[in-house]
Amino acid sequence: MAAGVPRVRTRLRGPSALAVFPGLPEADSRAADVKGGLGLAMKTVFINPERCIGCLQCELACAVEHSASKVEALAFLESPVPRKRVHVQAGPVPTFAFPNRCRHCDPAPCLQVCPTAAIYRDDANVLVLVDEKKCIGCAMCAVVCPFDVLTFHPLAEGPSDTVAVAVKCDGCVERVKRGETPACVEVCKVDALVFGELNDLVAEGRVRETGVVLAAASATATVPAGDPLAPWHAWGAAESAAATAAAARGRRAASNGNGRAPGVGPAEVESEGGPR
């Protein structure tokens, strides 16, 4: 630390911290990044759980990407076996699945409780990463993780083939540095996992959800087609017709004077079972 510059702890991040505390030793190096537009766009993997079909392709691609061979046919012959960092879990209802992965929280509870500083933050890529060589497998990170995304397995990068260390999503940081998308996103065929700038992905999600709502509203008639009182009108017309027919019959009977319809003689009444 530069002489005469007090150590200041602050939770402010990004341009706000530089504006409030311009005298911090790291301000000069970070200010250049801010002026150049670096670090302002937070790229991440965004989950659309309603699209997940539970095919597990993301899990397979993740494990292969973190293998030594990077070849699907050879990866699972390695020792230790490469492990997945994304976990497709069953949803609350049948046919519903959820691809669960590390959210790279800020602040990150796992980072705060790690006794060996094996978990650290990569500010340049906005990721929370694990240094497997420092991990002692105490599982304190798993205890405090709100999303249950940490598992423990021996890794080729770990201290030995027999020591289980923390395994979590690293954002495919090496792929991203090469300008590629994370492995899970690359293989997802239904866009349940997408990669991009966070604000843009959230905006796209809002537009998509709004479109679904509007489509459903346009497909559902809010006003019944035709006359909503048509059944009542039909019933009234039928009642009126019945009353008119009854009145006409009554008038015909009164004009004959015998209560029989015109043209019906006594013999016909008797043949129909009437009084003799």
pLDDT value for 39: 44
Two tokens, residue 145: 């993780």
pLDDT in tens, 61-102: 999 999 999 999 999 899 999 999 999 998 877 788 999 999
DSSP string for 241-276: HHHHHHHHHHHHHHHHSSSS-TT--HHHHHHTT---
- Give CA 84 to chain center in angstroms: 21
Is residue 60 situated within a structural domain? yes
The whole-number pLDDT of residue 199 equals: 84
What is the residue range of 77's domain?
Answer: 15-202
CA–CA separation, 258 and 34 (whole Å): 109
Distance CA 82, CA 77 (A): 9
Q: Is residue 95 part of a domain?
A: yes
CATH number at residue 86: 3.30.70.20
Confidence of residue 174 (pLDDT cuts 50, 70, 90): very high
Indicate yes or no: pTM above 0.75: no
Confirm whether 227 is domain-assigned. no
What φ, ψ does residue 85 adopt, rounded to 5°? -115, -10
CB-based contacts of 202, cutoff 8 Å, min separation 6: 46
At 42, list the tokens: 């937070």
Taking the mean position of all CA atoms in its chain, how far away is CA 21? 39
Residues 93-132 have pLDDT tens digits of 778 899 999 999 999 999 999 999 999 999 988 999 999 9
Residue 102 lies in a domain: yes
Count the residues in the chain. 276
Instruction: Examine the pLDDT at 14 and tell me if it is beyond 50.
Output: no
Residue 215, in any domain of the structure: no
Cβ 151 vs Cβ 165: under 8 Å: no
For residue 198, being part of any structural domain is answered with: yes
Residue 99 lies in a domain: yes
